[in-house]
């Protein structure tokens, strides 16, 4: 899972790209990068947060360009080093630069195809290189002197047929235009916006609408599953559904990844989390638990907890203080780093907790380490009882589409029942959202629930899942 941004303007867009990426920082903390075009590609990327890599936003002359791409990375496939940081660029058959969000599931066969059939040797393990080189190899089959919009859409379709998995991609085709496309199932989000200037319309594409709010863009729409949008050198907008399969939007975007102020598929994320919290209340009632207060794990769980508290008529309290200078622990690259960040970022408010039966709501339980630490904190603060509440159903299967839940042995609910998990984390009870209730909430929006159900929309085999697990295990090795 990553954050991507592309801007096709009339003047220098470097500063806008950098500022826009700060609004997407929650989607990736490993590395960040920008590529711009103004006759040539200019690239700057590095490890760490946007503010670390671009510490002097007033001096963007080295990456000045009228269009550009930005990326923040959260590693799932490929090691979290500078060699794998996006964006990526190639110079044949056209100058092409690309960023992507998601995960390619047939990376082994695709690498083999590119090497044996198209004579392209990849020097990186990053998925965007697979998509970029596949697109480039398909594009060179066209008449490059008279490349048409039809040729570009046909190239996207051929790429979608070759590349399996979940992906949203944005690309610059040098001196020809700006391109964006999604996988046939539309698993990963991509939204389009525009801003009017005295020189004409500036277009932007991004992972989330909150980026447009920061930059002053008007939201246009979400891209559909399998859709491609091309903006030519004359700023004419073209779109086509190239290759579409059954829609399966990742429901985890609403649960955790997207910011609460983003709107995806006409749904404000904050509102969706309140709805989930209200539905969760019924499950909690059936467990016949009577907490004195309901608290959240900041920041993603606030709206779940408030919706649940409102429905149950139990006081909501802010029981955990968060250090605002600590990043998201879930998207940290190693388990040791995740545990360290959890210890650093949360501190209980003792007077709120002491002597209370506390229901603590989190967005999900994956490995159980965060829940175990939280229960320990609350116990030491004097809580008489602690109930851990997960706004998502039990995660039982690896995510192969770009969320770092790709190793089954690390997923606690894949091996233990809720009462056993409660014993492990030290809680008096563990309560999960039911999968049936979650599906009912999204009966009008086809979603991917693979990490809960094991039903993968792209129809992968067990061998593919094992390959992804093995690759991820290799990436975790020091």
Mode of pairing for the β-strands spanning 237-241 and 227-232: antiparallel
Contacts of 316 (CB under 8 A, 6+ apart): 293, 294, 295, 296, 305, 306, 309, 310
DSSP category for residue 265: T
Burial class (CB in 10 A: 0-12, 13-18, 19+), 299: middle
Residues 245 and 358: their CA atoms lie apart, in Å, by: 45
Of 2, 67, 250, 448, catalytic? 2
For the beta sheet containing 191-197, the strands, ordered from the edge strand earlier in sequence to the opposite edge, are 41-47, 31-37, 67-73, 3-8, 200-206, 191-197, 218-222
Q: How far apart are CA 465 and CA 470, in angstroms?
A: 9
Three-point CA angle 305, 308, 314, nearest 5°: 95
What is the number of other CB atoms lying within 10 angstroms of the CB of residue 195? 16
Phi, psi of 348 (to 5 degrees): -75, 150
The length of the chain, given as a count of residues: 478
CB 166 within 8 A of CB 103: yes
Any catalytic annotation for residue 2?
yes
* Catalytic site positions: 2
């Amino acid at each position: 899972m990553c954050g991507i941004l592309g801007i096709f303007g009339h003047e220098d867009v470097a500063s806008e790209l950098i500022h826009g990426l700060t609004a997407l920082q929650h989607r990736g903390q490993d590395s960040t990068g920008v590529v711009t075009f103004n006759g040539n590609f200019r690239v700057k990327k590095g490890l760490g947060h946007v503010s670390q890599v671009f510490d002097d936003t007033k001096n963007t002359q080295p990456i000045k360009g009228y269009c550009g791409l930005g990326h923040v990375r959260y590693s799932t496939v490929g090691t979290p080093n500078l060699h794998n940081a996006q964006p990526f660029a190639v110079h044949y058959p056209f100058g092409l630069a690309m960023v992507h969000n998601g995960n390619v599931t047939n990376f082994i066969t695709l690498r083999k195809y590119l090497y044996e059939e198209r004579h392209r040797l990849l020097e990186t393990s990053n998925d965007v290189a697979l998509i970029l080189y596949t697109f480039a190899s398909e594009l060179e089959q066209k008449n490059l002197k008279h490349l048409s919009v039809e040729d570009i859409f046909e190239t996207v379709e051929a790429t979608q047929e070759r590349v399996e998995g979940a992906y949203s991609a944005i690309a610059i085709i040098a001196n020809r235009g700006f391109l964006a496309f999604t996988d046939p199932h539309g698993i990963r989000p991509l939204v389009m916006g525009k801003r009017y200037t005295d020189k004409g319309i500036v277009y932007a594409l991004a992972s989330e609408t909150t980026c447009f709010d920061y930059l002053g863009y008007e939201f246009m729409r979400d891209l559909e599953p399998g859709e491609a949008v091309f903006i030519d050198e004359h700023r004419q907008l073209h779109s086509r559904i190239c290759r579409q399969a059954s829609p399966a939007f990742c429901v985890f975007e609403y649960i955790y990844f997207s910011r609460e102020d983003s709107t995806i598929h006409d749904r404000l994320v904050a509102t969706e989390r309140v709805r989930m919290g209200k539905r969760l209340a019924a499950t909690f009632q059936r467990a016949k638990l009577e907490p004195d207060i309901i608290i959240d794990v900041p920041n993603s769980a606030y709206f779940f907890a408030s919706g649940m508290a409102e429905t149950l008529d139990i006081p909501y309290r802010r029981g955990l203080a968060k250090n605002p200078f600590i990043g998201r622990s879930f998207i940290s690259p190693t388990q040791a780093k995740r545990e360290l960040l959890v210890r650093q970022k949360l501190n209980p408010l003792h007077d709120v907790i002491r002597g209370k039966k506390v229901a603590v709501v989190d967005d999900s339980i994956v490995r159980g380490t965060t829940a175990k630490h939280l229960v320990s904190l609350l116990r030491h603060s004097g809580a008489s009882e602690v109930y851990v509440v997960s706004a998502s159903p039990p995660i039982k299967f690896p995510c192969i589409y770009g969320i770092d839940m790709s190793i089954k042995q690390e997923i606690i609910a894949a091996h233990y029942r809720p009462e056993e998990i409660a014993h492990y984390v030290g809680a008096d009870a563990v309560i999960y959202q039911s999968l049936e209730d979650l599906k009912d909430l999204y009966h009008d929006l086809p979603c991917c629930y693979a990490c809960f159900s094991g039903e993968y929309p792209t129809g992968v085999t067990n061998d593919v899942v094992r390959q992804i697990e093995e690759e991820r295990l290799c990436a975790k090795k020091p």
